[in-house]
Amino acid sequence: MRELTVAGAEFVRERHLGTLSTMSRRGGIHAVPVGFTVNDGIVRIITSRTSQKVQNILRDGTATVSAVHGANWIAFQGTASIHDDPAEVARAVALYAEKYRQPRENPLRVAIHVVPDRLMGSAGLLV
């Protein structure tokens, strides 16, 4: 799999929103805007366990997280999983707060992990 360059790592650290695409129940693509972080090879997203994206991932873990800003873009394709362990949710929240802002309290919060098996992006962001 390709890897991020220094510029690519900086791009994913910057405060860009992304899009999470999952497979809907009817076979289409469910795409929603999300805040995301990349740490230790895992793309993390925080959300409520009752969200449609969670339901889609529980049924089919296929997922893509992408971001675009100007001429730069990146896409992480891989397998998603849902994590409700309090320590993992707290880690995902802390990473999110560093990049975006402290999220509101949500007792139904879970963390989505996307483990990429394919990385695509614009010139200069990937090796």
* Residue at 126 is within a domain: no
pLDDT tens profile 95-109: 999 999 999 999 999
Instruction: Supply the range of the domain harboring residue 88.
Output: 6-120
Report the CATH number that the domain containing residue 112 is assigned in CATH.
2.30.110.10
pTM summary value? 0.96
Sheet bearing 62-69, strands edge to edge: 29-34, 18-23, 62-69, 72-83, 109-121, 42-48, 37-39
* Residue at 24 is within a domain: yes
Instruction: Tally the domains of the chain.
Output: 1
* Residue at 62 is within a domain: yes
Percent share of the chain, pLDDT over 70: 100
> Which pLDDT band, with edges at 50, 70 and 90, does 34 fall under?
very high
